[in-house]
Structure 1
């Protein structure tokens, strides 16, 4: 799959409708920040509200799917502000798909985290078991304490390397897992597939195209890092107002993303799906219709 061609087509499609797309994405940015207003609270009731809102907002991102598919399908004239709220309007139909997709990724992340912790403890079990000896050696001699600490310091680089390696493996697996469920909301929107069928079809559709999906995402990595950097800097500068500072950082970084790469990225993803779906669903249908007409 030609990633450059996909990105070029996305630019062409956005020439005449980018302002509308930016407007819809800005609405989604501002509305999507509502759950974050309740994050980090030590109050149990407010934490419960945050959890409920997070669950309710699971299908909210479907607005991106509807908006970008309209652009790709040359239906940009139908773009309107209501597209930003489609996740709420069609909550009953959309929620199961987004819930299953989120649960799949959560379970995979949980398993990976457990494996990571297990191997870290197993690999450095000897070092960890030697910690009581440090206390004992400190009680008997200063040199014994120094020797024990030296052993731990020597092990630190290896510990850091193993942890970083395991984190890298975890990130890679999560990226691959996310790619496998990538098509679920598109299949739901475009072909009205039920949740489990969309999950199965997404896995099947993305086989042999995982690397293509990763290449597409990596081509926008520079912008993503820049946006993350902007958000981190603003958060640090406004650390004296924790909640409001994080909110301002999220808004600013979100607007930077929307006015730089996000519309092109989201439309490129929709084009990516359309190309895969065409060869799997549309072309065989057209071929069958052509053969049927020939028979007649």
Structure 2
């Protein structure tokens, strides 16, 4: 399969961004309904100290949920060792886990690699959350019930529509494009979320997995974009961009709304279920990526047992 050139990936990324900005301008923005109290429930929100993650954590806390923000209970998604240590520390507290929000991300960073030699977008955005979710799966299963399913909410973006999964070069070593690598990581998250839902359903777990596109939101993720994009953001963010609070609305809704109780395997945008990229529904690709991911993070045997 031909891989998109760096220039094409860049142009397509900004074209998708422009499309989303125009859609946000023209459509009615989603407003959160009144949500039930979450007293006694526990959530983990990655990247919860700023932006969408912070707004999500703040709202869940207002609903009475005990929220663990991973910057305060240390977790470095660029390190497999840190992820394992975080899970050990969390489990040592003997807390239940009702909601996991996979939110943290890097965007359009220059070519660099994590301490485990993963390309940074793929390693942080995708593989870090893949391992974290796997290691917390038992806690989520034990906390779910027939009355209240535990929920996994994974954030992707509209750039997944132009993403390509290069199974022979997931770390983008042969031809690096920050735009292509970012889009690949976001497509990987959609594929992962759907495959995870299939596996959870097959084992009869009271856990659901959904993926959310928060839209184009005014956060600090854009520091590696072009000067022209930064200028437009500075001039027109008040009109075109969503605030972090608005971007978090669908995340919060997916995490606790009774209308989604027991429902998984969906892609949600602006509070509604939408169709993701055609390739994201390819179950063969979902399984191939899943198996490769298990191998990369060193849990192949555990993955096979859980299959």
Q: TM-score, normalised by structure 2?
A: 0.29
Which of structures 1 and 2 has the larger relative contact order (alpha carbons within 8 angstroms, sep 6+)?
1
- Which structure: greater helix fraction? 1
Of the two, which has the highest radius of gyration? Answer: 1
- Structure with the higher fraction of residues in strand conformation: 2
* TM-score between the two structures when normalised by the length of structure 1: 0.29
